[in-house]
Each structure stands twice: as structure tokens, then as C-alpha cells.
Structure 1
């Protein structure tokens, strides 16, 4: 090799290594003082933010999110809802017309930044609706910390989506995504997603928040209340300290993505300890509509125990279920949910989903706006798994209803790829299925492909390696491939990046004197390994694993029964023949995937009843 070529090659390699680099994540520490005017639904705020740049890059600008600026007529959120009409989020529109368009002027959301300083120096900034771009007085060098101070006032918006005043159940204030929040910076750059209604992303941060509010209010929040003996609701022997008719509440939290709280005069607070943690708080209005909450404690206790056992230990000391918002939305150490529920199973379904976000949104903090299927989908998987333990049903597998839902949705022909950014889906229903259902079935299909034991080990190692970090789909796939020994890139590409579907069938069955020959056919666009089973007249089930060659390694065991491994089925080959040593007189049923985990879009030709 010529010397000049060798030098060039070495330079390219060094650049590649530098671009990949070691993993890093930014860090933040907020100290806030908030004074709430409850009568006018406004507040004033100031904060000190210590921001540490652990990246290898010198930062000359920073960005903050100002989410509440979206809640007004003609905002980007309003325009997005108007453009989508009835295809959008039903909570943001009524009869296809944006609810934001009719927000009264005095109830428009606003975060008015008075000034921001860096290490005492005034900074220039510009507001781009829900994004604030800040030009630094001095660059933040790698591995260094800078201090921002900021003063602002805010108008709590009419409750439209998640945040706001006077939600439909009469909760006075749902304070979520309510403060100027610094954006995440990582290998992909600044996560400066305009807020038009969906997901959030942020660096891990510590919070020290002091809230001054009318003494009649009770606050629920995600964090630790530092002065329970001085405020209403938490300590029966509390001696409320009030200055000019206001009480001061102090909350702290460490290593969470955001700090959320809610306030109402009619809240009650109940708490209990889950063995091995956490301490759980219920903060809600005690009335006829919320009476189901009285039944929830044993279910929530079992819920956290199951989650801790199967998906990794919940690391925070507390968790709060708070009545507020417009449905269910997860935040650091808490969730906001509507209080009304018809029965305990309905309430627990909501609590199980929002609580599971503590694993797949908080502790494993993937970039939700970019990869909503990793958060919503993995959370839905955990929800379904735990609910099947709390409320057992007679199903072939816990996820059978999710597979059926996906199968029925496909018939609508409106599917959009799961790889799309959350806010950029054109159809609200398509977003839900791409993110929640296909994300959940991503794991279900992996369990089918590589065996449930391997999937459980993958989820465990994913938690062990990536808890309290910002993993991506590449990180998860790396672990899945290492645990299983399989190549799984093909599956992720098909399932997440396309709208292609799985469709296998039994094309032909021929019965002979000593055996039966079955011809299978692949009519879909996604190739898969196939578990083909026969059930004999005496109810014995024999399963044949037909590997698909792209995995290059076959699953060795599966929780859904033992199997015999057959020669592989090349993904380019449309048909495959199976010969089983049973006669027609011996057979009762032939079928593809008796466990019903495979997301085959057409089951009509998957089973044959032998008569």
C-alpha cells in the first residue's frame, strides 16, 4: 500500500471512530421558585439551571422547549389539527374542527421569558413558538458545566391536551411540561421537535422546586415532598404554614426527565408501601366517579412486584397516580390519569400502561418523538403481560387480542410505517397502531422467532445495560441478536420500516397410508420461520419448527411447547412441504402456530380440521 493511501485510510478510520465515539449523555440540575395566582390561573417563575455538556462537541447555542405556547389559535398545533380534521387526535378536535381555534384570549397558553443569563451574562434569545433558541455568551466546552438563570411568567392554558386548567373532571390545574425545559443533545444533535400534540424527550435532570400556592390547594407531584408536615393532605398532624394566605410546597427529584405536578382543592392523598419499593401515592378527588380507586391498592402492589421481577427494578423511591390531564400521560415518578373508571380492571389497565412508561420512557429513555414505537410499544407489551397476570383470561397467549386488533386494523388499508416520527403520522389511528400495537407486536414476534426465554433474557439485559440512559433501537437489536445468536435485522427492517405483512397458509393436504403431506405457502411480503403443529385424535400436539434461513441460527426452545426442527425455508421460496408420520385417521387438526403469536393477517387458511 502506498504511503499516501495508507495515511488517507488511517484518517478515514480515525474520523469514523471519532464520530461513533463513546456513549455520553447530558445532565441538568433545576432549582425553581414558583408563585401561583390560582384565581387568574397564572404563575411567575425563576430558575437556576446547571447544565453539563458531557458530549465531545463545543456548544454555541442551546435550545429550550416552551410547550404551552402551542395552546392558542393558529399555533402549529392548531394548524396540524385543522389539516388532519377527523383523521387526527380526537381529543384535539370536535367534529373535525380544532378545539384550539376557539380558546379564549385570556385562556391561551403562554410562557413569557423575561430574561435568561449564562454565568450572570445576559443572553440573546429568539422564540420559535414552542422552541426557544439561546445564543451563548461563551461556548460550553466538552466536559464542562455552565449556569443559566431565567425569569418568566406563564398563563395556564385551557385544558385541551394533557396540560391546563379545569379539565373535564374539574381538576383545577394540571401542570405538565409547564416550565422552560432544556432540550436533549446527543449524537443526533438537538432534539428540537415542535410540539404539535404527541411525545417528549429531555436529558436526565435533578429538580428542586418550591411552589407557593393558595393554602386551600393540595398538590400531587412526581418527586419527594420535603415538607409534608407543613402542607395540606399528606400528614394528618400537619401544621400548615401560610404566608399571606399561601402555602409553600417543596419538592425534589433526582435523575428524571421532567417534573410534573397537579393542584386541586378537592384532592385527597392516600399512600402505601410496595414491598421492596416504591412508596405509592394516590392523589384524586374522592367522589362517586372515583370510588373504584378504593380497590386499587392490592392490584398496584402486585403490579409493581411483577414489573420489578420481569422488566427490571423500579429505581425511584416514590410513584404517584394523580387525577388530572385528559386521559393518561406519563411523567417522572408520576402519571396524570382521568379519575373515572367503570371497574377495577379498567382502572388498572390505565394504571398499568402509564406505570410501565416508568420503564420504557423514564428509566430506558428512548427518544419518543423519533421512535414512539419503542416507548409506547414496549410499554404496551409490559402492560399486556402484567394485566394477564392480574386478570387472567382463557387465551392462547396473553397478546392474542393485540394480534387480532392489528389483523382487523390492516383491513382498513390506512397503515403507516412505525419508523415515522410520532408527530408526522398523517392519521391518528394509524399512529396508534404503528406506535402502540406494532411496537408491542415487535416484541411478540421476536418471542415467536427466537423463543420466549430468549426474549425475556433480552429484555432483562436491555434493562441491565441501558437503564438511566438513552438507548436506541440499534442498542436493543444488538442485545437481541447477541442473546439469540440470530440475525434479526431483516425482521426489524420489515416490521418497523415498512407496512408489509405476514400471510402464510396451508395450500394442500394429501393423506397417504402411513403419512400426511402438507404444502405450505407464503402469500405475504414478510418472510418468517413457521411453527407448524398437528393435533392427534387423542389430543397430543406435535410441533415442527421450520426455520427461515435469514436468521442463520434456529431457536432451541420455546415456552409454548417442545418442537422438532425441520430443514430451513429459504425466504425466496414460496412453498414448503412438510411430511408428518400420521394418517388421516390419526389426525384431528393441522395448523400454523397453535400459540397464535404470529401476526398473520389472514387466519382462514392457517388451520385445517381433519374430518
Structure 2
């Protein structure tokens, strides 16, 4: 027994109502409802692309043309549009280059690249006057029209030719890798694309610097890639011309893979150079044609050095799709990329429990990239193995849900894609092969060192502003930990899952803001969580719940509980009696509205042997020393 207790401790004058009041603007409006759904007037613009490009291996250049059809669904006419020109990051005087520290960082990139743009033509409607007026500034281009694009459904087209040198070091997102059998090309941020115009910021024109990723409109993509005849190309979406680019043997193997739950070789390690078997042409160039609908982006990879394997993905609706992997001989083996397709299949099947995977293929590409995601296609490092390869594969495929399906603004709110994805990765890892690999989020208390670090930053810190040493925690782990706490401790799995699945379904192929997520979770789960959002997502405070003491009282027991941290939290108490039986009670978060101490009465005829807070160790409580009584039995 420690200290003395007052039965009336909870009736003090201290008041913590400010923790439970709104601190961020979350009121609904015409465009975004207070329920966290798109409002009556919600709108978003659309972008459809037709692209044709050719790879020049001799000069490491990609060149071609893009035609954008833009639909202005906004309530205002537009005199111009802004476009993202992300290859311009690879120049000596780009903002990204000039904001990279001299010692470098993960987002280093070559500086001898950038776009060459010619023959730009823009017009409104099918008969509008053609404008060539445009202004390129760093990684943005402003394209002007001869007349405004009408509001509420007006259409415009922009076409241009473009080319760029393919960087070898592409900021850990794209580039090229030399292997023994040739080059592997990973193409991302490869075509000029329209920026998002929304009801929050108007034009979202943050430059492409490094850590901040992407925010893009949805639309349909039809793209053709012309490469040397001995290359294999994989890309976002569906291959439209297999008869033209695959031999009959490869087509038969592909059909077999669509029916197989086990991995099937399309091109085995011994067949990489056997073009008679695998390629319908034996010289010149060949064009691969892909299409994907309702997507925000496309990426592709091409090489003459690919091993290629695949297997069927089974979805709950009865639909099937294809998991496939391409990798060089340096990556083969069952301890390495030989299991990539197995990992890819499992990731898509597990994560589809939240919302069904919508596209025709899920492709994992081995490249000199730590891990980067695009719709239906990943780039992962070619030397990854075992647990590391599972982790990066699952993480990058998880991004198909956040932000590929739920289209949040990654440049501003990295936690809405990285954090949410890290959260679903936790459960897919627990599910995979009966827990073959452990989840790093199994015990959140092992991750509390960052929470007390004097240099810590808040989750809401913009990714390009955050200290890169903090980014992994504030964008990935801390928001994921918060969702685990909500699911496993605060709301329970059923209430949480109802709300989270509803959020994904409601905002699929749309542009939610943080407030939409907060509002939607509260409305579907039926819980005011203001105290949680403001402290966990918009602050750097910590959880520290403690037991002040336990003493007999009128034949029962009183437990004194203290909130010594910076945020309130429900308190799960587990009482152990002298007969070793246990009993659990969840005290609601509202006990802290009145102050920082609370006394709970244990009504029992048994003798209390021990009391512990959070017996399952779900909370990232920064001080475990005060979580139990008596203290010594939990050392």
C-alpha cells in the first residue's frame, strides 16, 4: 500500500475541459459535410491521359508525347491550369537540389536532367482557339488558354512533346540500375501531369522537393511504351496487346498463372536471353500498350534482364487478378525475390479486407529504389530478402489503398497515406503465413523513445519541413500507433472497422482532408474523439497513466488513478485477487474532464492482490513504472 487516498479526490476544482473541446476547425460546409462525407456541393476535377513514349537506351533518354483531357467540375471558370513537371527536380538549380544539404540525404538525385518541352498546344472544347502560352517555373508549369474553361463540366485539352534524360539516381523513386545482364529502368514521375485544383487550396502547387510525395487527379490512362525488342515491360493497369508483345509460349504461361495459386515462371532465370522463346520479334523496337481506369497515376519498368513470374490473386467478391514480379538474376532465390509474387499475392488479398483491390495487375519490380508505390505497381530494392522484402512489398502494395484509392494530399499530410498504410500493414503482417514475420508495431511501448525525445516533432509537420530523422516516426509509426490504440483499446475492433471501412468507401477516388477523416470516424463510430485527435495528431504530448495507491474502504477497495501525461485516455484496469482470478474494468475517458486524479471503487468480497493499467500493453505509455500496484511484482 502506498500513500493515502481521499474518497473525494475527483471532486477537486481542477478542470480539463479544454482537452475535450474542439481545437481544429471541423465544422461542415456545402462542400464537406460535418459527418465526414463529401457535401452536397462536393466536386473534383478529372484528368484523362493518352501518352506515347520511346526509350533510347544508347542515350538513356525517354521521349514522346502526352495529350491531357481536363474536365473542370469546379464552380468557377479557369483561365489556366498548373501542371507538375517533376523531372525538373533533376537539375542543378532546382528548388529540390538547392534545399538538399551538402552531405546529401535519401532524396539525392542526378542534376543533369529535366524536361525538354516542345509543340505545346492548349484549347478549350473541340473548336477552341489554340494557345501555346505557358510558363515553366521549377517543377511547375502554368498553361494558359485562349478562353476560360467553363465551370461545372467544361473541357480542355493540352498536348505537348517531352523528353528527358533518365537519371541513374532518381531520388529513391525512379531511375536506372545496371545489372550483369543489362539495365533495369524504373519510370515514375515521367510525364507532365496536371496539379489538383480543389475547394481547400485552389491550385495545389507545392514544388517537388524530396520528402513530400504527390497529390493527383483521377482519370483514365492509355499509354504506349516503345522499347528494344528484347525488353519486357510491366506497367500500371492491363496489358492491351499481349498478342503483339508475347510469344504464344509466354501467353500460355500467363494464362496458367491466372489460374494458379502457386508462382509460375513466365521467364525463368535460364530463359532471360532466349529471345526465340520469349520475344515475338528478333530485332528493332516493339510497343507495349497499357490501360488503367480511375487511377491517379501510372508507372512502368522495362529491361532485357528480367526474370518474370506470376500467380493468381483471389478476391472476396469472386474476382481474380494477377500478382507478378520482375527481377534480375542478382535477386533470385527463395530467400529473396523468388518469394516476391507470394508476398505480393498475400498483401493484396489481406489488404482487400478493407476495400477490394480494383486494378488488373499488382506488380513488384526489383530496382535500385528502397521502396516506392504507384497504382498497381511497386519499386522495391533488388537486394531485399526475407522479412525485409516482405515488409517493403506489403508496405508499397498497401499504398494502393492510401493514397491510390483514397486520394489524400501527400505533399502536406504524409501521415494520411504513410501512417494509415503502416496501420494496415500491421494486420496484414499478423495474417501472413500465420505470423511468419513479426509486426514492428506489436508492442507500442518499445517505440516510446521517440515520444520523449527533445527533438521530436508533431504528426502534422509537413514532410518537406520535418527533420528526416523524425519523418519515419511522425509520418509512419506514430499515426499507425494511434489507429492501433483506437482500434484495440478505445473503440474496439467492431466499431473501429465499421468506421474505417466506411471512410475508405466514402472517399474512394476522392480527396479527403484530415478533418474529413476525423469527422467520419467520429460519426460512424459514435464517439467524440476530439481529445484524441488534438493531442495525438496535433501535438507532441504523451500518455502517462499511473496508479497512486490501493487501500481497503468499507469492505471494498479504492484505487487512486492519476493522469500524469499530456493527454487523457480511457483506463483499462485489471484486478488480480488472492485466488488468482482476474477482473477487468474500462473507465471512460470522461473521468479526466474534472481533473487529473480519479478514485475508482472495486466492489468485491475478495482480497485484492494486484492492480495493473493496460494489461495488454497496447498504450504507448511513456512511464511503465507507475502502471501497477504493488510496483515490485511487475519489475
Under a length normalisation based on structure 2, what TM-score does the superposition of the two structures give? 0.82
Which whole-Å CA distance do the structure 1 matches of 2:348 and 2:75 have between them? 38
Ranges in structure 1 where 5+ consecutive residues have no aligned partner = 1-14, 93-98, 550-568
Q: 2:150 aligns with which of 131, 141, 154?
A: 141
Q: 2:337 aligns with which of 282, 290, 293?
A: 293
Which whole-Å CA distance do the structure 2 matches of 1:108 and 1:471 have between them? 37
Match of 1:576? Answer: 598
Report deviation, 1:595.
Answer: 2.2
Match of 1:193? Answer: 206
Q: Does 1:364 align with 2:377?
A: no
Match of 2:506? Answer: 465
Any idea what SS the aligned residue of 1:419 has? coil
Any idea what SS the aligned residue of 2:115 has? strand
1:538–1:197 Cα change, 3 Å: farther
1:327–1:501 Cα change, 3 Å: same
The Cα RMSD (Å) is 2.8
Moved more, 122-131 or 575-584: 575-584
Any idea what SS the aligned residue of 1:167 has? strand
Written as runs of structure 1 = structure 2, the 5 A alignment for 1:383-422 is 383-390=425-432, 400-401=441-442, 403-422=444-463
Q: Does 1:378 align with 2:420?
A: yes
Q: Deviations over 1:300-346 (max 9, x none)?
A: 4343332222x111111221111125111110111111122332x32
Which whole-Å CA distance do the structure 1 matches of 2:435 and 2:198 have between them? 43
Which whole-Å CA distance do the structure 1 matches of 2:574 and 2:218 have between them? 48
Report deviation, 1:460.
Answer: 1.5
Which whole-Å CA distance do the structure 1 matches of 2:174 and 2:504 have between them? 34
Q: Is the 8 A contact 1:218 1:232 kept in 2?
A: no
Q: 1:117 aligns with which of 92, 115, 121?
A: 121
Which whole-Å CA distance do the structure 2 matches of 1:363 and 1:283 have between them? 24
Q: 2:139 aligns with which of 130, 151, 174?
A: 130
Q: Is the 8 A contact 1:516 1:583 kept in 2?
A: no
1:570–1:228 Cα change, 3 Å: same
Moved more, 377-386 or 416-425: 416-425
Report deviation, 1:16.
Answer: 6.9
Which whole-Å CA distance do the structure 2 matches of 1:222 and 1:509 have between them? 61
Ranges in structure 2 where 5+ consecutive residues have no aligned partner = 1-27, 33-38, 124-128, 252-276
Match of 1:33? Answer: 52
Q: Is the 8 A contact 1:171 1:323 kept in 2?
A: no
1:215–1:538 Cα change, 3 Å: farther
Q: Is the 8 A contact 1:332 1:358 kept in 2?
A: yes
Which whole-Å CA distance do the structure 2 matches of 1:239 and 1:406 have between them? 49
Q: Deviations over 1:554-587 (max 9, x none)?
A: xxxxxxxxxxxxxxx1334111112324589552
Q: Is the 8 A contact 2:226 2:288 kept in 1?
A: yes
Q: 1:595 aligns with which of 616, 627, 630?
A: 616
Which whole-Å CA distance do the structure 1 matches of 2:618 and 2:208 have between them? 36
Q: Does 1:433 align with 2:454?
A: no
Which whole-Å CA distance do the structure 2 matches of 1:126 and 1:50 have between them? 19
Match of 1:42? Answer: 61
Q: Is the 8 A contact 1:63 1:133 kept in 2?
A: yes
Q: Is the 8 A contact 2:122 2:157 kept in 1?
A: yes
Q: 1:161 aligns with which of 154, 171, 191?
A: 171
Which whole-Å CA distance do the structure 1 matches of 2:247 and 2:374 have between them? 22
Match of 2:238? Answer: 224
Match of 2:380? Answer: 337
Match of 2:23? Answer: none
Which whole-Å CA distance do the structure 2 matches of 1:147 and 1:450 have between them? 48
Q: Does 1:497 align with 2:541?
A: no
Which whole-Å CA distance do the structure 1 matches of 2:237 and 2:548 have between them? 59
Q: Deviations over 1:408-452 (max 9, x none)?
A: 212322221111222221x11222211111221231232222222
Q: Is the 8 A contact 1:289 1:340 kept in 2?
A: no
Which whole-Å CA distance do the structure 1 matches of 2:481 and 2:469 have between them? 16
Q: 1:173 aligns with which of 185, 191, 206?
A: 185
Any idea what SS the aligned residue of 2:100 has? helix
Which whole-Å CA distance do the structure 1 matches of 2:598 and 2:162 have between them? 68
Which whole-Å CA distance do the structure 1 matches of 2:333 and 2:571 have between them? 47
Q: Does 1:209 align with 2:223?
A: yes
Any idea what SS the aligned residue of 2:458 has? coil
Which whole-Å CA distance do the structure 2 matches of 1:342 and 1:350 have between them? 10
Report deviation, 1:196.
Answer: 0.9
Report deviation, 1:163.
Answer: 4.2
Report deviation, 1:371.
Answer: 1.4
Which whole-Å CA distance do the structure 2 matches of 1:164 and 1:515 have between them? 66
Any idea what SS the aligned residue of 2:479 has? helix
Q: Deviations over 1:342-369 (max 9, x none)?
A: 32x3222111111111111111111111
Q: Deviations over 1:86-136 (max 9, x none)?
A: 7xxx423xxxxxx44xx4xxx622111113211361321111111111222
Match of 1:348? Answer: 390
1:454–1:580 Cα change, 3 Å: same
1:440–1:271 Cα change, 3 Å: same
Written as runs of structure 1 = structure 2, the 5 A alignment for 1:86-125 is 90-92=105-107, 99-100=108-109, 103=110, 108-119=112-123, 121-125=130-134
Any idea what SS the aligned residue of 2:399 has? helix
Match of 2:195? Answer: 183
Q: 2:349 aligns with which of 286, 301, 305?
A: 305
Q: Does 1:71 align with 2:115?
A: no
Report deviation, 1:174.
Answer: 1.3
Which whole-Å CA distance do the structure 2 matches of 1:441 and 1:366 have between them? 19
Match of 2:625? Answer: 604
Q: 2:482 aligns with which of 434, 438, 442?
A: 442
Q: Is the 8 A contact 2:31 2:199 kept in 1?
A: no
1:241–1:117 Cα change, 3 Å: farther
1:191–1:37 Cα change, 3 Å: same
Higher RCO, 1 vs 2 (CA within 8 Å, ≥6 residues apart):
2
Q: Is the 8 A contact 1:442 1:495 kept in 2?
A: yes
Report deviation, 1:474.
Answer: 2.1
1:288–1:278 Cα change, 3 Å: closer
Q: 1:488 aligns with which of 513, 529, 542?
A: 529
Q: Is the 8 A contact 1:289 1:341 kept in 2?
A: no
Any idea what SS the aligned residue of 1:502 has? coil
Aligned length, in residue pairs:
558
